[in-house]
Structure 1
Amino acid sequence: MRIPRLLLAAPHSGAGKTTVALALLQRLRALGLRVQPFKVGPDYIDPTHLERAAGRRPYNLDGFFLSEEGLLSLFQHGARGADLALVEGVMGLFDGKDPLGRVGSTAQVAVLLRAPVVLVVDAWGMAGSIAPLVQGFRGFRPGVEVVGVVANRVGSERHAEVLQEALSAIGLPLLGWLPRDPTLEVPERHLGLVLAGEVEPPLEALGQAGAWDLEALLRLAEEAPPLPSVPPFLPEPRPSRVRIAYAWDQAFRFYYPEALELLEALGAELIPFSPLHDEALPQAQGLLLGGGYPELLARELSENRAMREAIRGFPGPVVAECGGYMYLAQGLWVGEAFYPMAGRVPGEARMAERPVLGYREVVALRDGPVARKGEVYRGHEFHYAHLPPSPSPAWRQAGGEEVEGYTDGRVLASFIHLYLPAQPQGARRFLALAERAGFGRL
């Protein structure tokens, strides 16, 4: 299968990959092109901005979650109907789960996709040094093909000319540049960007800033080699047979889109609701409470007593991840202020100053609404909240003794964001339990 594609990488986090991606998406859409965005890694936040700029739902490409075949299948699934695929990398090009970035890195995805890599360099305070920096990344690993550079935070047009001259010495083009302008940057929070919707990225300004060689970029994308055919990413769609309500508002919106699509393909009718604003749950047989920022809206969530009581009494299976786990707790401490929450699981959540962060491989300690005892699942954890050890933990770290989360067989509450498309049996189990619960039957 031939899919024109480019991958934006960088030497390090904070170089401006998302800013460059947004600017390039604006430029390409102005040409009338349908561009499909992707994000390397488990990030939920950058994709919200990519979606605003592209007008298409982004997908996460993660080599820790998916096999080579699975990752290729998801890429082809997402790129259907697009003229070009633009993949935004994560962290530095060779940063991943292991020290050399063999797994969970942008480089791993670049190799699997055989994607031309455009290196985004923060060029502020840099001139000729850009050439050896890029040359080092260019030659570090076979299969990672760096084809050009986009310079971010450039001081002037003359600065851009100097950078271009330096890169010509190593035979690489300067494909574009953006000026040093704080108004073009998207605000950050918790080691990541603020969600689209909380703040609007300056898309119009980004689409007009700097300069681009779009002809060269499109040519490089077209030169990407064909990809092998792989099985479909999702199973053949089934008719809707069970209703699943999922939290979707300013406090909860962290879901992998391909996971929601998997549930729909397996027969779920997904119904959004707002723990912030709604007074009652929609008629449903299962409940999803995704991640988000409940700590920022703790007072409003706590004041919605009707919703807290509805969730506390919900009779079907419940899956709550990260922010959803915090909401199901007895309460949430933000500084010295305490806010009662749904009270569905034991313990009080408390915000801390240091994050818990990383990939996870976990073993189910007992049967729950997703996993059976002994099954192994993969996911990702990133949060500033803590809860005391549960009397009925859901997971044990694979190869270790540390336990996490809570389950009573009907509720699964955990800080770990599971990647269900890699283990669709968990999604099937959740829907089967919801269907048997019979509450709100279709």
Structure 2
Amino acid sequence: MNPPRLLLAAPHSGAGKTTAALALLLRLRGLGLRVRPFKVGPDYIDPTHLERAAGLRPYNLDGFFLDEAGLLALFAHGMRGADLALIEGVMGLFDGKDPLGRVGSTAQVARILGAPVVLVVDAKGMAGSIAPLALGFARHDPGVQVVGVVANRVGSERHAAILREALEAHGLPLLGWLPQDPALELPERHLGLVLAGEVEPPLRALEGAGFWDLEALLRLAKAAPPLPEPPSFLPERRPPRVRVAYAWDRAFSFYYPEALELLSALGAELVPFSPLADEALPEAHALLLGGGYPELFAEGLSENQAMREAIRGFRGPILAECGGYMYLSEGLWVGERLFPMVGLAPGEARMGGKPVLGYREVEALRDNPVAARGDRLKGHEFHYARLPASPSPAWRRVGGGEVEGWTDGRVLASFVHLYLPARPAAAQRFLAQAEVLIG
């Protein structure tokens, strides 16, 4: 296996990785190439923009969720029918779960995939200093091959020429640059970028902005070393046996595509529905309530009393994560207003305070739809909401001891976004519990 591939990384968050990835995807797509985008880390938001630019669904590559064989298998799975991979990193190149960036970092993915790394540098207010900055990253880890630089927020063509000269004096090419232009920026809010679909990424402006040495970039992508043949990422597909309804609208859209594909391969017929707009659930044997932004649509969710009652009366297994947990709660406070929610999970959710974020390995405290007591699963948290301590917590955090979430055995509501492909048995358990409704 040896697909052409490039990885866009940066010295730190906010340097412009997503902006550069969108611009490069557009240029490569303009050459007639099918470029599969990937995103390092547990990000749900950036991939929505990458998909708009590439016209292909992105996949998440995360070295905490998956081991080396799993990452290679997912990468190969994503590359079916694609000509080239463009991987957007997360945070800074060597930022991860541990201080050395060995786990959960962009560098870990670069090492496993043998992906040439292009460093995206915010060059605003910078001239010759770009060289020692880039050189430090290029020389830090022999297993990570930094092959060149893309400069973001460049003031002028003269500025770009200065940056190019400074880098080339030390053997690093300037492979592209983007100008400092507010029209190229992507809007942000409390969980990161605004989702594509709520705001359109500035694709037209990016398409012709700046400069890209496409010939050099393609040459570097094709020079990536061969990879070992991986195992299949998905099990052999089974015929559909249960219907799983999943929340999909402006309030709820945080799902890993590979997790949905796993459920489908195991025999789930996936049916989307909108807690905002639909008055009734589709015919289904299980419910998925993913994450999203219920706090932005609390009034609409609360006003749809028919849907709240339908979910409250549902008798199959329910998996609710983060925003889905908030929706299943008794109510959601936004500022000084309380909006009644479904009322299956005890407590009222409140927004505010510092974000809770980080990787999680959790152990089931009692049987639930995806785990038997004692089972361990991997996931992550990223939220500002709080709920009071649960009378029947679902999880104990491994290594920390904190308890979290709520379950009654049939319903699991938790702030942890679980990564089901890391433990396919959890997905199998979910569908097996749904089969009970079929008889």
TM-score norm. by structure 2 comes to 0.99
Query: What is the deviation of 1:191?
Result: 4.6
CA distance in structure 2 between the aligned counterparts of 1:27 and 1:400, rounded to whole angstroms: 46
- Residue 289 of structure 1 is matched in structure 2 by 289
Contact 2:39 2:88 in 1 (8 A): yes
Contact 2:177 2:210 in 1 (8 A): yes
Query: What is the deviation of 1:401?
Result: 2.5
Identical aligned pairs, as a percentage? 79
- Residue 67 of structure 2 is matched in structure 1 by 67
Instruction: Tell me if 1:305 matches 2:316.
Output: no
CA distance in structure 1 between the aligned counterparts of 2:215 and 2:74, rounded to whole angstroms: 28
- Residue 143 of structure 2 is matched in structure 1 by 143
TM-score norm. by structure 1 comes to 0.99
- Residue 50 of structure 1 is matched in structure 2 by 50
CA distance in structure 1 between the aligned counterparts of 2:230 and 2:180, rounded to whole angstroms: 43
- Residue 230 of structure 1 is matched in structure 2 by 230
CA distance in structure 2 between the aligned counterparts of 1:408 and 1:173, rounded to whole angstroms: 58
Q: Quick one: which amino acid aligns to residue 124 of structure 1?
A: K
CA distance in structure 2 between the aligned counterparts of 1:27 and 1:309, rounded to whole angstroms: 49
- Residue 315 of structure 1 is matched in structure 2 by 315
Q: Quick one: which amino acid aligns to residue 95 of structure 1?
A: D
Report the 3-state secondary structure (helix = DSSP H, G, I; strand = E; otherwise coil) of the residue aligned with 1:47.
Answer: helix
The Cα offsets for residues 18-45 of structure 1, whole Å up to 9 and x where unpaired, read as: 0000000000011100000000000000
Unaligned ranges ≥5, structure 1: none
What pairs with 1:184-223 in structure 2 (closer than 5 Å)? 184-223=184-223
Report the 3-state secondary structure (helix = DSSP H, G, I; strand = E; otherwise coil) of the residue aligned with 1:118.
Answer: strand
- Residue 82 of structure 1 is matched in structure 2 by 82
The Cα offsets for residues 122-142 of structure 1, whole Å up to 9 and x where unpaired, read as: 000000000000000000012
- Residue 379 of structure 2 is matched in structure 1 by 379
Question: RMSD between aligned alpha carbons?
Answer: 0.7
Report the 3-state secondary structure (helix = DSSP H, G, I; strand = E; otherwise coil) of the residue aligned with 1:11.
Answer: coil
Q: Quick one: which amino acid aligns to residue 350 of structure 1?
A: R
Q: Quick one: which amino acid aligns to residue 141 of structure 1?
A: D
Query: What is the deviation of 1:190?
Result: 1.7
Aligned residues: 439
CA distance in structure 2 between the aligned counterparts of 1:420 and 1:58, rounded to whole angstroms: 17
Instruction: Tell me if 1:35 matches 2:35.
Output: yes
Instruction: Tell me if 1:329 matches 2:335.
Output: no
What pairs with 1:268-417 in structure 2 (closer than 5 Å)? 268-417=268-417
Q: Quick one: which amino acid aligns to residue 173 of structure 1?
A: P
Query: What is the deviation of 1:400?
Result: 3.1
CA distance in structure 2 between the aligned counterparts of 1:83 and 1:379, rounded to whole angstroms: 31
CA distance in structure 2 between the aligned counterparts of 1:193 and 1:214, rounded to whole angstroms: 27
Q: Quick one: which amino acid aligns to residue 86 of structure 1?
A: L
The Cα offsets for residues 328-369 of structure 1, whole Å up to 9 and x where unpaired, read as: 000000010100000011000000131100000110000010
The Cα offsets for residues 133-188 of structure 1, whole Å up to 9 and x where unpaired, read as: 00000000121000000000000000000000000111011000000001101001
Report the 3-state secondary structure (helix = DSSP H, G, I; strand = E; otherwise coil) of the residue aligned with 2:87.
Answer: strand
- Residue 177 of structure 2 is matched in structure 1 by 177
CA distance in structure 2 between the aligned counterparts of 1:103 and 1:39, rounded to whole angstroms: 15
Report the 3-state secondary structure (helix = DSSP H, G, I; strand = E; otherwise coil) of the residue aligned with 2:140.
Answer: coil
Q: Quick one: which amino acid aligns to residue 126 of structure 1?
A: M
Report the 3-state secondary structure (helix = DSSP H, G, I; strand = E; otherwise coil) of the residue aligned with 1:136.
Answer: helix
Q: Quick one: which amino acid aligns to residue 108 of structure 1?
A: Q
User: After the TM superposition, which of the residue ranges 37-46 and 397-406 deviates more from structure 2?
Assistant: 397-406
Unaligned ranges ≥5, structure 2: none
Query: What is the deviation of 1:117?
Result: 0.2
CA distance in structure 2 between the aligned counterparts of 1:400 and 1:226, rounded to whole angstroms: 40
- Residue 123 of structure 1 is matched in structure 2 by 123
- Residue 96 of structure 2 is matched in structure 1 by 96
CA distance in structure 2 between the aligned counterparts of 1:399 and 1:185, rounded to whole angstroms: 39
CA distance in structure 2 between the aligned counterparts of 1:192 and 1:402, rounded to whole angstroms: 26
The Cα offsets for residues 293-315 of structure 1, whole Å up to 9 and x where unpaired, read as: 00000000000000000001100
CA distance in structure 1 between the aligned counterparts of 2:10 and 2:284, rounded to whole angstroms: 44
CA distance in structure 2 between the aligned counterparts of 1:380 and 1:398, rounded to whole angstroms: 13
Instruction: Tell me if 1:239 matches 2:239.
Output: yes
CA distance in structure 1 between the aligned counterparts of 2:204 and 2:348, rounded to whole angstroms: 44
Q: Quick one: which amino acid aligns to residue 332 of structure 2?
A: L
Report the 3-state secondary structure (helix = DSSP H, G, I; strand = E; otherwise coil) of the residue aligned with 2:121.
Answer: strand
- Residue 156 of structure 1 is matched in structure 2 by 156
CA distance in structure 2 between the aligned counterparts of 1:187 and 1:288, rounded to whole angstroms: 29
- Residue 6 of structure 1 is matched in structure 2 by 6
- Residue 422 of structure 1 is matched in structure 2 by 422
- Residue 21 of structure 1 is matched in structure 2 by 21
- Residue 113 of structure 1 is matched in structure 2 by 113
CA distance in structure 2 between the aligned counterparts of 1:62 and 1:230, rounded to whole angstroms: 16
Q: Quick one: which amino acid aligns to residue 351 of structure 1?
A: M
The Cα offsets for residues 246-296 of structure 1, whole Å up to 9 and x where unpaired, read as: 000000000000000000000000000000000000000000000000000
Query: What is the deviation of 1:7?
Result: 0.1
Report the 3-state secondary structure (helix = DSSP H, G, I; strand = E; otherwise coil) of the residue aligned with 2:354.
Answer: strand
Report the 3-state secondary structure (helix = DSSP H, G, I; strand = E; otherwise coil) of the residue aligned with 1:142.
Answer: coil
Report the 3-state secondary structure (helix = DSSP H, G, I; strand = E; otherwise coil) of the residue aligned with 1:139.
Answer: helix
Q: Quick one: which amino acid aligns to residue 156 of structure 2?
A: S
